[in-house]
Each structure stands twice: as structure tokens, then as C-alpha cells.
Amino acid sequence: MKFTFRRWCACLIVSTLMCGALISPSGVYAANSLNINAVLQSDVITNKFNTLNSWYYNSDWGSFASSQPDNYVTSNYPFIQYVRLFTATGGCYTGYAGCSGGNDRDLFVNPANTATMTDYKFDSLKSSIQNVLNKGLKPYIVTGNVPIKYSATPYIGAFNVNTRPPTDYSTYYNYIKAMADALVSQFGVTEIKTWKWGVLSEFENAAWFWDSPGSTPDANASKTAYFKLYDYTVAALQSSIGSGNLTVGAHAMAVTPGLWDPRDFIDHVATGNNYKTGGIGTQINFITASYYDDAPGVYTANSLPAVINSLRDRAIMDGLTNLQVGVDEGWFLTDTSGKDLFSRSSGTGYQGAYMAKKIKEMVDYNIDWFSVWDLNAYGVWGGASVPTISTNVIALASKMAGERRAGLSIGGSASGSGNVVDGFASYSDSTKKLHILVYNYNANPNAVSSESPTIAINNIAAVSGGSVNVKSWTVDDTHANFWPQWWSDKGSSLTSADYGGFWSPQSVEVPAALTNSSALAYWNSRLGTYQSLAALTSSATSPMTVSGNSITLSPTLNHHGVMLYEITNVTSIGNLVSVTDDINDFSKMNAHGSGLFFDSLNVAALGDTRRAARTTTGPTPEFVTYLYNNSKSVTLTGLFDSTAEPINNFKLYTSSTGASGSWALQSGYTTSDTPINSNLWTKRVYNWPSLPAGTNYVKVEFPTGGSQNWNPQLSQVTIQYTP
């Protein structure tokens, strides 16, 4: 649909790190050979792009959505499951100074009438939610900002909403509870149990929310105000919906420093005083961040994994071990000239490779989701035939959801300066499919060199016959991408004035952002061409003979190219699943001794946020056990204070039944030592490469005695087994 309002996007622009043609991100190993081991498998890959952001939800999901086909999203974008309704319960209304026309978020009969605080009117929110449900999706409702008449001194900030807290939190509590009661009445608790809720956007960003004794933001006052807002909001939702039916979380900026440290909020909900109930802690099920790089080729100082880990590690240290962690907005703030990109993404091939790299980071670091702004050249509605390059890459990656990650190792070196060839693979035993996503990324958007890696796929066989079936999809500047042709046709001659004087001409949503009528007419005249160029099509399926349980692929990856291979009629000659327990909690263990605790001190020194240790040095051995049928090998990591006393090793026992008297001590292991903490501690990695046949249970036993109960510490256990 055509957007009639200026849409803002949250994040402060900060100091950046410029990356040129010869610079590649640290820690990434460029390669021109990939080896896929279908036998070695690990965790199931989940759908990483399940949420669509809606800034003006009344425009996107109001009456206009009612006229759209109910299967539009589920048919064209099956990876989308949630619609995130931004600032859904307050912050502006038409007619208030500083609020743009149509920016109606305060849910009252008369939002300007301060004589009454209870003239609630939730019709617009209920209507939008109903349309979300009608389209086969679920709402993710972001409460806040605070309605204008609930703040003593409202202040409209950069995002066109009131940034001040409520004068009376009890009044605000009643408002949120009344809203939740109205939704329960219309939709029922059983339905609402499937929704998600958030409390404010980028809570430590002063452009969104702040408090102060004076007229400028104060960090401590703002932090306390948000703690109160969160506690009162969650209590109101719990009162109506029930805590067991509620999935609620919060969205931090996190990618760059805000008014206060978002990790303080994690401490608050874990162990702080609840401002509403007076108890300890507040319900939280997830926490999200923003992740923006400043512009294509201009990067923030923090990587995506670093941003996520800063939140996750604090949550684990605070005992919130099952918290989901995601990204609720991101990509690029502006184009290279500083003009805002409409959906914070561009249309070039670089965008595709950049996204493929980020998707791999999400899989590598178990990031639960990344919300997207738009899906096609028209935004969302009416443009399914013109998907953006971002959407096409997401569509490829989503084919891997539900499959186990397969082993992939990389060797060699890329031929092009700064090129990074990388990827990941997955296999499904139920569908007999193997997928390989591979890309040629360069930190310089202007890089033009291609790569021709070799992909060797080992330990496979055909399900029937002697051949497997191979097809592929390619996304780059010449495949599944309309943008280069548009830029050549007309786009490069346009300026920001042709986009309302605000949006960048490099915005990929051409007809959604374009305000120049003649340029829009030209777009319409060429629409058929752009539709054809944007289509995500696969190559013809080719049979490949499996020789020696292996096949070899030889793709050409154009500059910033992304490819997905799908191999069918294929089976692994044995599935060796690898499970790693980072010892953050007891969730992956079958059993454990009663005298263990989790140590989260000295994180930087020991390189691990949370480890298991003994509570006493007594003679009874403490232990942890695991149940994985057909266990084949074990690797474990122990941390030892090796200057205080000699290393006393962990022991490993195995059993087929786990019964008392059935455990057998396993020798034949190797160790590898690394000094840590300025040589005061030793990190010892143990490896048992082959366990006895029929091993189903594994027990790791701590040593007894010693001078300190916290020495040694169990840092990690990895078990490989065949399901």
C-alpha cells in the first residue's frame, strides 16, 4: 500500500567503523572450498524471520487490510507468523501539537479530555488484531507509549510519540488492564495465549522514553520510570490474561549506548523489587535488541553476536536461563549519503550477501528472531510479485527451518580481495533433503569480484537408484532482483526530493516511497519487467551420480552472490548428532548431584558466563548425567585453579541402562591444556573419541576433596550420538 505518513525508525546514529575494500570482519575465515558432512548433525534450525513490523498499524492492518485476501501473507510469505504492532496503546493523537495527522494511538473516546481518564475506546486496536488473525497470523502487541493525557508534561520526541512517563502509574495500570479485559472478552484467553506482548520500544533510548526532575533526560530517573512502567504493565496483563497465558518481553536499543545500561533492566526483572507487587522480580519471557549498521559499508562498532550476547549473558548470570533473545528492528539506517532508507534496507546484491551473513550469525549464535520492516517494493500489501532482494534471501533460508544443521568445514582462500565465502547446511531425515546456503560477501559494497568455490558433500547415498537430485536458487544483482534494472532505468537520476524530500532514492520500496508522479508512472509502465526480474526461480533439477558416498558441486558466486542448493532423494549414511551443554542450567541433563551450584563470577577471566561447581569438598562425588541413546563420543571442558593445587581430573562413566552398578569408568581419553586468567587457571579439554557400543547414559563425575569447593568447574559437555 502507499504510505501517507513519514515513518520513523528507532535507533541513535553513533560513531562508526568504516570498512573499505581490503577490510573483512575479524574472525571470519574466507574460503574457496566447502566440505559438507551429512553425518555430523546438530541442533534444529528454527525460522529466524517470523515477525513483520507495523509502524502505523491502523494504516497497515485497519480497513485497508480488510480488503486484502486472507491468504495473502501465508501464501506469499509463509515464514511470517507474527505482526508486531508498534506503539499500540498510546503516545499521540491527531490535533495534539507535534503529532502528525493520522498518528492516532491514544485509545479514548476523546484523548484530549483530561477531565476523565477512563473514557476508553479500544475499537481500532481490536479491529487491527482481528485483521491480523483473519490473515492467519498472530499479533505481537507493543504497549506504550503513554497516552498524552496521562502525562503531566507530555513531550513529543523524534519518533512522533509522547516520551514521558505517566503521572499516576495506578491510572496507567487501570488503562492497560481495561484494554486487556476488552481483548479477553472479544478473543478469549485461549487465543491470546498464542500472542506476544512487548513493553515499549528501545526502552533506554531517550528519543523513545525518559524522565527527569527537570526538562532534560536523567539516566537514573528514566531507568526507574521504565522499571515502574514495565512492572505495572505486566501486572495489569497478568491480572486479565493470567501469567501462564502471557508471553511478554522488552525491546532494548543495545546496539549502541543509550541513556542507561539495558542490562540493569535484566537485573531488575530477575532480582529487583517489583514496583507494583512489592515482590521480587517481574515476569519476562524474551528480550530483544535493535541491530543497525549505519549504511551499506559503514558498520557499527558492535557485531550482532556481541549485542545479543551482552543481553543473554547477563540474563544467564541472573538465573534467567530460558529467556528468548531476538532482534526487533534493524539493517541500515541510511544510504551512503545519509538519507534514510525506507525499510532500512537497500536493493543491491550487497544487501543480499549482507543478510545471508547475518542469517548465518543468527544460526551460529542461536538468535531466536529478526523482525523485518517490509517484504516487497510496495511495502507489504499488493506487491507480492515484486519481492525485495532481502525477502528472496529470507525465503531461501526459511527452506532450512525444521532441519538439523549439518557439518560444514571451510578451507582454502578466496580469490577476490576482501571476499568471504561462507555458508551453512542442513539435513532432514524425514524429507530426505539436504540444503546448503552459500554466499560471497565483501565488506565493500562496491566489490565486483566473483568466486568459484568447490563444495564436496560426503557421507551420503541415494534413497533409490544411484543418483540424487540437485537444484539451486541464485540471488544477486542479476538474479531474483529488480533493483539494478530500476536504478539503471530511472532511479539513479532521482533525488530525495522525488521521495517526499525525506527518503533515500536508494530505498528499495520504489512505489511505496516515491512521490514524483511522472517517475511513478514510469515505474508502472515497466512493472512487468520488474516483476520478472524479481521472481525467485530455481534451476532445472539435475540428477547427480553418488560416487564413493560423495558428490561435488562447482558454483560460481557473482559479487555479493547468494545461492541455495536443495538436494533430494538423499540420505545420510548415518546421522551423528552433536549436542552441547554450556552448563548454564540443568535443562540438558538427565540427573545431577544435589551439591552443585552455578558460578557466574570472574566471567572475563575464565571466558565462560556460567559453570557448575561443588558446594563442598566432601567425600561424596558430585555428578551430572546425560541420556542420549547410542552415544558415540564425549568432549568436556574443565576449568582448574592450577596454581592453588594440582589438577584432579574429572571422570567419565557410561552405562546402557543408568541403573546402579551398571556404570563403567572410561579411560583412553586425551586432554589438551590452555592457560587462562594470566596463567592462574588451566582450561583442560577432555576427549573420549569412542564410547562402548550400547552406551545410552553418560555420567561426568567431579573429583572429591581439595582445598576449595569451587575448584574445579565444569564448563561444557558435548555428546555425539546417533538417533
Q: What does the pLDDT look like over 588-631, one tens digit per residue?
A: 999 999 999 999 999 989 999 999 999 999 999 999 999 999 99
Grid-cell match 546448503, residue found = 436
Residue 703 gets which letter from DSSP?
Answer: -
Neighbours of 158 (CB within 10 A): 13
Rounded CA separation 78/68 (Å): 16
Which pLDDT score, from 0 to 100, does residue 14 have? 32
Cell of 502: 525525506
Q: Is 501 exposed, middle or buried (0-12, 13-18, 19+ CB in 10 A)?
A: exposed
- pLDDT over 70 (residue 704): yes
CB 433, CB 349: distance < 8 Å:
no
- Model confidence at 15, pLDDT cuts 50, 70, 90, reads very low
Can the peptide bond before residue 145 be classed as cis, meaning omega within 30 degrees of 0? yes
Percent of all residues in the chain with a pLDDT value above 90, rounded to a whole number: 93
Residue 159 gets which letter from DSSP?
Answer: T
Rounded CA separation 272/520 (Å): 55
Q: Which residue has the higher pLDDT, 26 or 439?
A: 439
- pLDDT over 50 (residue 1): no
Q: What does the pLDDT look like over 227-266, one tens digit per residue?
A: 999 999 999 999 999 999 999 999 999 999 999 999 999 9
Domain ranges of the chain: 46-404, 427-575, 577-721
- pLDDT over 60 (residue 397): yes
Q: What does the pLDDT look like over 526-575, one tens digit per residue?
A: 999 999 999 999 999 999 999 999 999 999 999 999 999 999 999 999 88
Grid-cell match 572450498, residue found = 33
Cell of 337: 549519503
Q: What does the pLDDT look like over 334-344, one tens digit per residue?
A: 999 999 999 99
The alpha-helical segments, DSSP class H, found in 302-367 are 304-317, 349-364
Rounded CA separation 332/13 (Å): 10
- pLDDT over 90 (residue 455): yes
Rounded CA separation 389/346 (Å): 8
Which pLDDT score, from 0 to 100, does residue 19 have? 32
Rounded CA separation 274/279 (Å): 5
Give the three-state DSSP class for 641: coil
Which pLDDT score, from 0 to 100, does residue 575 have? 84
Which pLDDT score, from 0 to 100, does residue 31 have? 55
Rounded CA separation 356/691 (Å): 38
Which pLDDT score, from 0 to 100, does residue 132 have? 98
- pLDDT over 80 (residue 9): no
CA nearest to 405, candidates 427, 423, 434:
427
**Considering the entire predicted model, what is its pTM?**
0.90
Which pLDDT score, from 0 to 100, does residue 574 have? 86
CB 179, CB 229: distance < 8 Å:
no
Which pLDDT score, from 0 to 100, does residue 644 have? 86
Say which CATH topology domain 577-721 has.
Jelly Rolls (2.60.120)
CATH code: domain 427-575 is: 2.60.40.1500
Superfamily of domain 46-404: Glycosidases (3.20.20.80)
Q: Give the pLDDT mean for 473-484.
A: 98
